Amino acid sequence: MHLKHHPDHPHDDELLYACTHWTGYDAQVDGYPTSYLWTALRLGGACDRLRDRILAAFRADSDRDVLSQLLDLVDQYARNGDGDAQQAMLDRMEASGPDEFEHYPATIINRLGERGLILVALQIGKRLDLGTYNDWIDLSSSSPQWLDPNRAMAVVKGQVGAGPGVDRLLTMLEEYAGTRAQSKSEPQRSSWSRTAILQLPFIKYRDWVRSESGRPMVYLSRKWGEKAPESELRAAAEIFLKAEDEFDRKLGLFVFANAPFPFDPQPLIDLTNDEDEFIAFHALRSLRHARHPKVRAFFEKSLAAKAHLKDLFGLLLGNLLPGDVERVTKWIRDQQDDYPVGPAQHDAEITHGIAFDLLEVIEYHDIEAVEIVKWVFENTPCRNCRRRALEHLIKHELANNEILVDCRWDQCPYIRRAARKAMGDST
């Protein structure tokens, strides 16, 4: 907003920092704020002024998230016909290592069309010859016109002839086209299969999962647990308690992530200190809906010791008692002095874990918890948690004008939309 109304007062240092540093939390969830940054550059009249420095940062940076963000920004220049930006993308693709290479093909194909297809095919061929190709490229963001394997074949083979890179690129395009066609033509079958699987008794579900993938399938198993009747949850718990292999152990933990454990939870509590961090994490998660005095005692002991903080507050989903909201509110206040939990002072993962769990508890029990939600809103590094906190404040008419005005110009489009809707602004 300030840039829009004061273009004669540029903030080049701040803009350049935002463009060349990753300021988000989780790129897979948050995405990259390219359109927001490009709009800020444009409103600040800085697109041309900062161009060379952005291109230089793109050529030099090695951080995965920063590099992806810079690639999107450089592509903004390239789509406006900037030859230097296009060449920078090609140079970076040429010099990239096996794990970095996957970032470039879709963008280069989109921007350069037929020439991009040819250059990507040649790069794949070169990497196959050198043994540095990791056999995976995400082409799903390519324009549909370049995902047609017949058109690609005519373009690429007509220019460079047959070769391992051409063959591999065409195979990927054919696989993508086949997967896309199948997903469009068989939605009912897929939906029916998932429904049927989730209705299986535990023994048959367990056998199906083992034969289908050999792995316990974390998200599907959580969903099975949510829908299972008590008798089947007891069957699952009995097998978990007698587990002799890693498969049954993990499957049991996944099943009870969103379902109450029907027996004495002590075996799960013991696993929270397992030397395998994966097991310890999922054991703690499987206690979230187990309402039991031992779980409550474990929560109290851990909170006093400031242990398991990243995932601890989720235990209140099944063990919230009267007065807990006030107690947690006081705990948050007290920690500001001797154990900061804001992202600027402490591990962002711990802050996010606390914020995420507290939002889950508040939404699950449908309580206001104003001060806690405001703390989440002000401290979480995750824009999705911040959006949920804002929506909670709006729902309970607790979002004041200062909060809403600030959020109208937030980097996250969903936060901007929620704030503007609350203010009666339809733009």
C-alpha span between 325 and 370 (Å, rounded): 10
Q: What is the pLDDT of residue 184?
A: 45
C-alpha span between 126 and 143 (Å, rounded): 24
> Which residues touch 81 (CB under 8 Å, ≥6 apart)?
none
C-alpha span between 280 and 268 (Å, rounded): 9
Q: What is the pLDDT of residue 346?
A: 54
The burial class, CB within 10 Å (0-12 / 13-18 / 19+), for 9 is exposed
Looking at residue 118, its amino acid is: I
C-alpha span between 340 and 333 (Å, rounded): 10
* The dihedral sign for the CA sequence 105, 106, 109, 111: negative
In degrees to the nearest 10, what's the CA dihedral of 40, 41, 42, 44? Answer: 80
Helix or strand run (H / E) with residue 347: none
State the pTM of this model: 0.76
Q: What is the pLDDT of residue 116?
A: 86
CA 427 distance to own-chain centroid:
28
Give, as one character, the DSSP assignment of residue 44.
T
Looking at residue 91, its amino acid is: D
- Say how many Å lie between the first and final Cα of the chain, rounded: 14
Q: What is the pLDDT of residue 191?
A: 41
Residues counted in the chain = 427
C-alpha span between 337 and 345 (Å, rounded): 11
Tell me which residues of the chain have a pLDDT lower than 50.
Answer: 180-192, 340, 342-345
Q: What is the pLDDT of residue 183?
A: 44
CA 425 distance to own-chain centroid:
29
Alpha helices in 277-400, H assignment, sequence order: 277-285, 293-305, 309-312, 316-319, 324-338, 348-365, 370-379, 383-395
Q: What is the pLDDT of residue 266?
A: 98
Helix or strand run (H / E) with residue 403: helix 401-407
Is the distance from CB of 386 to CB of 406 less than 8 angstroms? no
Distances (CA, A) of 17 to 43, 54, 57, 355: 16, 10, 11, 27
Residues of the chain by 3-state class (helix, strand, coil), percent to 5: 70, 0, 30
